[in-house]
Each structure stands twice: as structure tokens, then as C-alpha cells.
Chain A
């Protein structure tokens, strides 16, 4: 097994680090659709494994990721772009993501008392589709902001941000 982690003194690529994070997120984002399509079509018990896996992912990995991105990347972008541009819309989307993840969490009770009704099924599907739609667009936009940082910062500055990202998300996997 090889150790790909950066060695002391070695520069860490911000672009590579962020893209690796996004690449890790995307299969789970796509599986939100798989889960949404299953709701109401398969027995509730059959949903639990995928629900637990994907809810576990968004709660334990996605939320720390967006917290870190806000603290590390958005603040740097706002400094860089000054008054010309605000990251407020992206922060607002993070708030909506947090809200939707909390909403998904309310369905954990079904594992013990599996009693779906049509209304709950539709509401769960609505939350899953909304979260999927938001993340698909948000992550693509974040990639463009990464390109701004990539073009604008020195290698040493990017290395500092990448290490912050790595450090803040380490241990969440």
C-alpha cells in the first residue's frame, strides 16, 4: 500500500485536494436519486440500508465538508475578490443543505417503526430531490471558485489552504 499523503515540505495542491473531495462526494450525491426513486416503490425495510448509508454520509462527511469550505475557502475568496463579489449566496445554499440534511435525519425513526404513508414518502422524496438538485449545481459552481483561487494565489498560499482543508476533514472518513 502506498502512502499518498504529503510529506513535510512537500507542496499540497489545492486544486487536487478540492477535486478529490468533490469526487468523493459525487457518487453519494447521485445515490440520493437512487434512494428517492426507491421510496414508495420498494418495501420500506429494503430502503433502510441505503438510507442509513447515504444519510450517514451526508451527516458525517458532507456537513463537515461544507463547514470547512466556508471557513477555509470562502473567507479567502472574499478577501481576494474584495467588495466586488460576495460568497453570501453560496453560504445561503449551505444553510439550505444543512436544513435538508436535518430533514432527512427525521426519517431515522422508520428503522424501528416502519410505517410509511404516502405523505411521508412524498415528503422524503421531495427532500432527497431538492438536496440532489442543490448539490449538483452548488458543487459545479464551487469548482469555478476553486479555479479562481488556483489562478490567483501563489503555490505556497494554495498549499496552506489545502492543508487546512485536509486537516479539517481528516478523521471524518
Chain B
């Protein structure tokens, strides 16, 4: 039995994350119409995913994957934009937790709208961020030789709408 490679492990993590992430829009919309008990259960489940699964994944990616990529790119390419997105995700998870803790156990329209805002922002960020990490994983799988490192760097310049 062979040990799974880093890209394979990370890809499997992404698949598991996306099972939850892909449900975020429907869960966020359901908050507008769900009964209070169901809404609170959904919120608790989402929080458990964010803090128990997503944040540890991000920390592992920063610890294991990003340094490997930076070593491969030999300083031609920085993972700093991806780390900044992690910071933004942590902020949003923190915002979500603060909203959940505020007036815990109650459901109000204002809080529902605020929770939806955080959830949709998280969804938009995570979908592209995970897609971009997948692109990096393909590079790790293939390996990067010196002569194509510059081309890879140019191709993966952190893509931002409007840039």
C-alpha cells in the first residue's frame, strides 16, 4: 500500500470541503424561511464545519502546501495573496461566530440578513480560493522545472476581477 501524495491528500480534503461549501447558498437562503429551531440547527452545523473542518484545513495548507509551492517556485511566485485570502476567511468565520453568539438562541430578521451576508461572502471567496488551490496542486503533481517556473508564475498571478 502506497502513501497518498500531498496533492492527492489535499485534493481529497477539497472534495470533502466542497460538499459543505456547495450547500452554503441553499442554507443561507433557507434562513429566510426556516422555522427558528431549524434555522438555529443549520447555523450551529455551519459553525461546526467552519471552525472544525475549514479552519484546520487552511492551517494545514499554509503549513504543508504553501511552503512546498514557494520552494518549488524558488521565490518567483509568492503565496502571500492566498495567505491573505485565508486571513479574510478567518475574519468572516469570526464575524459569523460573533453573530451566532450575539443574542444566542434567538432569531431576528436583522441577524438573519447579517448571517446571510457573511455566508454568501464566504461562499464566493471559498469557491474561487479552493479552485485556485486545485490549480496549484496540479503544479505540485507535475513538478516545476526551472525553465517553466517563470511561465507558471505568470499564468498563476493571483487572478482578481478587475485586475
Residues in A lying within 8 Å of B, measured CB to CB: 33, 36, 40, 99-100, 103, 117-120, 122-127, 129-130, 132-134, 136-137, 140-141, 144
Q: In the bound complex, do residue B157 and residue A141 qualify as a contact, i.e. CB atoms below 8 Å apart?
A: no
In the bound assembly, the distance between CA atoms of A103 and B25 in angstroms comes to 23
Decide: B162 and A136 in contact? CB cutoff 8 A: no
CA distance A120 to B124 in the complex (A): 16
B32 lies within 8 A of A140 (CB):
yes
- Which residues of A are found within 8 Å of B127, using beta-carbon distances? 36, 125, 129
28 residue pairs of the A-B complex, CB under 8 angstroms, read A33-B25, A40-B131, A103-B162, A118-B135, A118-B156, A119-B159, A120-B159, A122-B135, A122-B159, A123-B160, A123-B161, A125-B131, A126-B128, A126-B160, A126-B161, A129-B123, A129-B127, A129-B128, A130-B124, A133-B121, A133-B124, A134-B120, A136-B120, A137-B113, A137-B116, A137-B120, A140-B113, A141-B113
Residue B1 at the chain A interface, CB threshold 8 Å: no
Give the total of B residues in contact with A, Cβ under 8 Å.
26
Please measure, in the bound complex, the distance between the C-alpha atom of A126 and the C-alpha atom of B123, giving whole angstroms.
11
Q: Are B155 and A125 interface neighbours, CB within 8 A?
A: no
Whether the pair B163, A123 counts as a contact (CB closer than 8 A) is yes
Chain A at the B interface: mostly helix, strand, loop or mixed?
A: helix
Q: Which of B33-72 contact A (CB under 8 A)?
A: none
A36 to B22, CA, bound (A): 12
Kindly report which residue of chain A lies nearest to residue B126, judged by CB atoms. Answer: A129
Specify which of A36, A134, A137, A141 lies most central, judged by the most chain B CB atoms within 10 Å of its CB. Answer: A137
Q: Say whether B28 faces chain A, with CB atoms less than 8 Å apart.
A: yes
Q: Is B104 an interface residue (CB 8 A)?
A: no
Chain A residues closer than 8 Å to B162, beta-carbon distance: 99, 103, 127
Of all chain A residues, the one with the shortest Cβ separation from B112 is A140
- The answer to the question of B88 belonging to the interface, with a C-beta cut-off of 8 Å to chain A, is no
Check if A144 sits within 8 Å of B132, measured CB to CB.
no
Q: Which residues of A contact B120 (CB under 8 A)?
A: 132-134, 136-137
B135 contact set on A, CB distance < 8 A: 118, 122
Q: Which one, A118, A123, A132, contacts B124 given CB within 8 A?
A: A132
- Which residues in A have their C-beta under 8 angstroms from that of B155? 117-119
Q: List B contacts of A134 (CB < 8 A).
A: 120
Q: Which residues of A contact B148 (CB under 8 A)?
A: none
